[in-house]
Chain A
C-alpha cells in the first residue's frame, strides 16, 4: 500500500520521538491512545482460544471535518477511506473455519466463515448505493480481498438485526436505509489479508503482541478470524462528547491437545512458543497498556499451572457465572530485554465428555434431494429455563427461490407464530431474498425453522469457472439478548478495551450468532470439453459428411423402366409416380440413381430397379462405373 511504504521502524521511532517531545500538557491536539491485549482461554476438548485486541481510542468526533486530516495512531489509509465515504460505523470480519458454539461457548467477536461487512453511513449521506459500491472497492484494495463482489446481488439492509453498535440517535438507528450488509462465504483469508491488516497497527508486526503473528501457525488452526471494527463511542462516562474507537481483533483457536500428541499425550499443555512458534520479546512502545489475560474458569488452578505466575488473579462474576482471570502486565515482563513465554501445564488429560452447552446455539443445513428443489432448516437450541426472543436473519441468493408460504417455525410439532416478519423477495440478478423473523424460543426447547426453495437455471455465462463446486449461501444471523452471562466473553457495548469485559456488571448480554454457511449445487450444464466436442463432431459427421458423401459419390444412370421386374410394392409406387409424371415432358432422360457399390449390379441387371418413371419412352443409357468414379475424382 502506497501509504505505508515508509520503513516501519523509522515510523515508530518518529512517532515515539514526537510523543516524548511533548511537554506535559496541555492536551495534545490529536489525543488518541492505543492498547494491545491478549486473551487466552482454554476451551473444552483440548482447544485453546487466543484473542488479540488492538484498540485505538481517539477523542475526536466523526462529524468534525478536521478529524481525519491529522493522524497519530489511527491508520491514515483507513481514515481516508472512512472520511471519503462518510462512514459512521464499519465492521469487517474475515474468517476461516466455523466457530463451534456447542463446545466452545461464545467468541469475543462473532464472525461467519468468509467475509462479512456491514456499514452504517452518516445520516447526511445521500446516494448510498453508489457510496457503498465505491467503499467496497476501496476496501478490497486496502485488504487484498475481493470485496468488490459485494454488489446489489449480495447486499441487503437488515431491518432489525444489525443496529449500530456505537453512539447513534434513535431516529437514525431505526432507519436501516443508512446501512448496508453483505457477506461472501466463499472468500478465503490467508497471509495476503493478514499483511495489510497488520500494517494498519501503529507498531505493525515489528514489536508488541503483533510480533507473535506467525502466518504458518495462524492458518493451521481450527478457527481464525480477523476483525476490524470502527464506531463512535462516548469519550467518558458522562457521554457528552463523542469519540472514535477502532478495534482490530484476531481470534485464533488452536487444538493444543492434538499438537501435543507426540509429547505429552492428551494434555492440553500450551505455551506461547508452542502455539505461535515465537515468544514475546517486547511490547509496542506506543501502547499505553499491553496486557495478557488468561481465563482459567473452566480449568481453575490447581488444574492449570501457569508459568510465570500471574501478576494478579481476578475472580469476578459475569452474569452469574464465576470467572477467574490471571492478569499479566506485559510491559513489566518484557522490560530489560527479557523474553516472555507463558506456559500452561494441565494436571490431567483432556476429558472428551459432555460439555455444558451455551444458552443458545444453532445448526443449519440444506435438506432435500435433486437439483430442482431443496430446503433450508435451522435448529435452535435454548438451554435456558426462560423464554428467549430471537431475531433470525437469512440472506438467500436470488437463484434459490424461496417460497414464503413454506417458511415454518415449530417446536416439538407445535407451530410457533413469529412476532414480527420482514421478507423482501429476491429479484433475478439484482437482489437476494431477505428474511427476518422475530419469535420466541420456549425454555429448554429445540425450535426448528424450515423453508423450501427452487433452484434456478443460470445463464451459461453466469456460472463461475468451478461451477461444479457449488454455490454458497450466507450464514444465518441470530440475535438475542441473554439474561445469563454463561460462556459469554464479548466486550460490553459501553466498553472498549477487553479489560472492560472483566468488570462487566450488566445483567443482559447481547449475542449475535452466525450459523454454518451452506453449499448448494445448482443444475449445471456439462462444461467438459470432450463431451461437447464429441457431440458436435458426431453431429457434423452424421449430417454434413453423410449428405455430402452421398451427393458426391452417387451417379445417375438411366434405366428402362419397362424391362425391370416389378414386385407389388414397386408396381404400386410406379403407379403413383406414373400419375404424377403425366405432366412432365417426354424428352427428359429419366434414369435411376445408381450407387457406386451397386453399379456393378445395375450393369448386370439394370432392369431390376426402376426409379418409378414410366410411361414416356426413355432412351436407355447406362453410365459405367468407371465414368462415375472419374466424375467423382475430377469434381
Chain B
C-alpha cells in the first residue's frame, strides 16, 4: 500500500484495490480477447429452452423439423436435456407414412437427421395443449408432474422460447383444435416476470403473421423475433420429393444455417441473428422487438440464449485419488455383512394361472 494517493489510509486501500482489480481484469480481457463489455453484461447463471411445435398431421412435417432443428442447435451449443422442454404435437419420425423411419430431415439432401439418436421429448402428442404450455411457462403444474416436464427456472435464468406452427393475426393454432392468443401469451410472460422466473427471455416464432404474437408483450427483458409481419405469411422452403412434404420453413432454414456456424465460444451477437433472413430470402419480413430489452442486441452474445453457461475452473496440477475399498466407502452399519433376514417360511412364486386347467 505504498501508492501515495492521498486522503485516508482506508480510502487509499480501497481505491488501490479496485484499481488493481480493474487493471487485472482488463489485462485478462485483453489477453483473452474478451471485450470488457461482455465480461460485465453476462449476468445469467443458467439457460433453459422451451421449444414448441403445435402442429399435428403428416403434412405439417416441416414444423416438427423446425423445432427439432432448433433443439439440435441448442443441445449442440450446450444446453442439456434436463434444461430443455421439448413439445412435439405429433410423431413424424415413426409415423407410418415416413419412408425413412426414425428420422426427421430438414433438408432435401438428407444429411442431418435432426431427430437423432439422443432425443428426449417431454410433451408429445395430445399433451401439447395451450393449457400445458401456459402451465409449463408459469410453473403452475400439478404436484405429480415429473421434473423433466417442469420449467425450473429462477431469476437468473435466460430462457429461449421457440414456437412454430400455424398462426394468424393474434393467435397460434394448437393441434388444429384450439388457439393461444397473443394476449394470453403476453400475460403468461408477465406472470413469469412477477414470479421471477426469468432473467431475460428470447422469444422466437415462426408462423404466419408471427409478429402479432409478440406485439402485446409488456414485460421487461424480452427480446423477440418473428418470421413475418402482420398481414404476411411465412413460407416453407422446399419439398423433399422422397418424403413428399415440405421439410423446413424459410425462416428456420436460414436461422439454422446461421446457427450451424455458431460454436459454443462464438462471439456472434443477437443483432446479427436478427438480420438473418432478409426479404430476398424469406419473402416475408422478419420482425423483431427490442424495446422491452434494456441492452443493445448488437452487444449481446447469441450464446446467452442459445448456449449454456458453464463455469469452468482450470486446474494445472494433477490430483491423484487413493485406492478405494469398500470399508472406506461405507459406514459402519452398512458395512456389516448383512445377512438378509432368512424368513422361516419358504417363499414361492405366485401362481400365474389361478384356474383349474
- Chain A residues with Cβ below 8 Å from B142 are 137
- On whether the beta carbons of B341 and A1 are closer than 8 Å, the reply is no
In the bound complex, what is the Cα–Cα distance between A96 and B91 (angstroms)? 13
CA distance A29 to B326 in the complex (A): 8
- Shortest Cβ gap from B125 to chain A (Å): 6
- In chain B, positions 316-342 with a C-beta closer than 8 Å to chain A are 323-326, 330, 334-335, 337-338, 340-342
Q: Which residue of B lies closest to A66 (CB)?
A: B334
B144 touches A216 (CB 8 A): no
B314 beta carbon closer than 8 Å to chain A? no
Distance between A52 CB and nearest chain B CB, rounded to angstroms: 17
In the bound complex, CA of A22 to CA of B102 (Å): 43
Q: Chain B residues near A239 (CB, 8 Å)? A: 346-348
Q: Does B80 contact A (CB under 8 A)?
A: yes
Select from chain B the residue with minimum beta-carbon distance to A89: B350
Q: Which residue of B lies closest to A419 (CB)?
A: B355
Known contacts A2-B82, A64-B340, A189-B94, A196 near B176 by CB under 8 Å: no
Shortest C-beta distance, A592 to chain B (Å), equals 49
Q: Is the CB of B340 within 8 A of A59?
A: yes
Q: Which of B119, B146, B326, B337 is close to A191, meaning CB atoms less than 8 Å apart?
A: B119
CA gap between A29 and B340 in the complex, in Å: 11
Contact B355 A191 (CB under 8 A): no
Whether a CB of chain B sits under 8 angstroms from the CB of A520 is no
A567 to B22, CA, bound (A): 109
**Chain B residue nearest in CB terms to A467:** B177
Chain A, residue nearest B178 (CB): A465
Query: Which single residue of chain B is at the shortest CB-CB distance from A164?
Result: B350
| Residue interface bits A52-80, CB-to-B below 8 A is 1, else 0 | 00000001110010100010000000000
Interface pair A5/B349, CB less than 8 Å apart: no
Chain A residues contacting B346 (CB-CB under 8 Å) are 238-240
A168 to B120, CA, bound (A): 36
Does the CB pair A146–B340 fall under 8 Å? no
Inter-chain CA distance A620–B245, complex, in Å, is 74
Q: Is the CB of A144 within 8 A of B343?
A: no
Q: Tell which of B33-41, B110-118, B215-223, B263-271 binds the partner.
A: B110-118
The answer to whether A464 and B124 touch across the interface, beta carbons within 8 angstroms, is no
Set of chain B residues within 8 Å of A60, measured between Cβ atoms: 340
Residues of chain B in range 100-154 having any CB-CB distance to chain A below 8 Å: 100-103, 113, 115-127, 142, 144-149
* Complex alpha-carbon distance, A90 and B175, angstroms: 33
**In the complex, what distance in Å separates the CA atom of A216 from the CA atom of B124?**
20
Q: A500 an interface residue at 8 Å Cβ cutoff?
A: no
Query: Does A240 lie within 8 Å of B127, measured CB to CB?
Result: no
Tell whether, in the assembled complex, residue B355 and residue A137 are in contact, meaning their CB atoms are under 8 Å apart. no
Most buried by A among B82, B120, B149, B350: B350
Complex Cα gap A464–B90 (Å)? 13
Q: From known contacts A29-B334, A239-B347, infer whether A146 and B145 are also in contact, taking CB-CB under 8 Å.
A: no
Inside 8 A of B79's CB, which chain A residues have their CB? none
How distant is B143 from chain A, measured CB to nearest CB, in Å? 8
State whether A174 and B56 are in contact (beta carbons under 8 Å apart), knowing that A22-B325, A149-B126, A191-B102 are contacts in the complex.
no
| 8 Å CB contact of B350 from A18, A163, A479 | A163
**For the complex, is A376 an interface residue (Cβ under 8 Å from B)?**
no
Say whether A21 contacts B323, CB under 8 Å. yes
- Chain B nearest CB from A26 CB (Å) reads 7
**Bound form: Cα–Cα A60–B101 in Å:** 41
Known A26-B337, A28-B326; contact A510-B347, beta-carbon cutoff 8 A: no
**Inter-chain contact B340/A235, CB cutoff 8 Å:** yes
Q: Which of B228-263 contact A (CB under 8 A)?
A: none
Do A465 and B175 form a contact, CB below 8 Å, given A21-B324, A419-B355?
A: yes
Q: Which residues of B contact A170 (CB under 8 A)?
A: 350-351
B349 to chain A, nearest CB (A): 5
Taking the complex as formed, is B24 at the interface, i.e. its CB lies under 8 A from any CB of chain A?
no
Does A313 sit at the interface, judged by CB under 8 A?
A: no
Tell me the complex Cα distance, A196–B81, Å: 11
Q: Tell yes or no: B354 within 8 A of A by CB.
A: yes
Task: Count chain B CB atoms within 10 A of each CB in A28, A188, A391 and give the residue with the most.
Answer: A188
> In the bound complex, how far is the Cα of B265 from the Cα of A113, in angstroms?
46
Given contact pairs A140-B146, A389-B355, A481-B353, A29 touches B330 in the complex (Cβ within 8 A): yes
Residues of A within 8 A of B4 (CB): none
Interface pair A215/B57, CB less than 8 Å apart = no
Residue on B nearest A480 in the bound complex, by CB: B353
Identify which of A61, A195, A494 contacts B118 (C-beta below 8 A). A195
Take A160-B355, A466-B57 as given contacts and tell me if A167 and B126 are in contact as well, using a CB distance cutoff of 8 Å.
Answer: no
Cβ-neighbour of A465 out of B118, B126, B144, B147 (below 8 A): B126
Best-buried of A235, A391, A465, A508 by chain B (most CB within 10 Å):
A465
Known: A166-B349, A218-B102, A493-B352. A195 touches B334 (CB 8 A): no
For chain A, residues 20 to 47, give those with C-beta under 8 angstroms from any C-beta of chain B: 21-23, 26-29
Nearest neighbor of B122 in chain A, beta-carbon distance: A144
Contacts of B2 in A (CB 8 A): none
B204 interfacial contact with A, CB 8 Å: no
Option from A22, A133, A163, A494 in Cβ contact (under 8 Å) with B326: A22
What CA separation (Å) do A466 and B57 show in the bound complex? 8
Given contacts A141-B146, A465-B177, contact A216 B103 (CB under 8 A): yes
Quote the shortest CB–CB distance from A6 to chain B (angstroms). Answer: 11
Candidates A17, A23, A192; contact of B121 at CB < 8 Å: A192
Q: Are B101 and A510 in contact (CB under 8 A)?
A: no
Do A220 and B101 have beta carbons less than 8 Å apart?
Answer: yes
> Which B residues lie within 8 Å of A350 (CB)?
none
Known contacts: A26-B337, A167-B350, A466-B56. The answer to whether A190 contacts B102 by CB under 8 A is yes
B356: Cβ under 8 A from any A Cβ: yes
What are 30 of the A-B contact pairs (CB < 8 Å)? A29-B330, A59-B340, A61-B340, A140-B146, A140-B149, A142-B148, A145-B124, A149-B126, A164-B350, A170-B351, A173-B350, A186-B125, A188-B94, A188-B125, A190-B93, A191-B93, A191-B119, A192-B120, A192-B121, A192-B124, A195-B120, A219-B93, A235-B340, A238-B346, A240-B343, A240-B347, A389-B355, A438-B355, A466-B176, A479-B352
Q: What residues make up the interface of A, taking CB atoms closer than 8 Å to B?
A: 1-2, 5, 17-18, 21-23, 26-29, 59-61, 64, 66, 70, 96, 133-134, 137-138, 140-142, 144-146, 148-149, 160, 163-168, 170, 172-174, 186-192, 195-196, 215-216, 218-220, 233-235, 238-242, 388-389, 391, 419-420, 438, 464-466, 479-481, 493-494, 508, 510, 527
Q: Sorted from nearest, which 5 A-B pairs have the closest CB atoms?
A: A141-B146, A190-B94, A173-B350, A219-B102, A465-B177
Q: Which B positions have Cβ atoms within 8 angstroms of A?
A: 56-57, 80-82, 91, 93-94, 100-103, 113, 115-127, 142, 144-149, 175-177, 323-326, 330, 334-335, 337-338, 340-343, 346-357
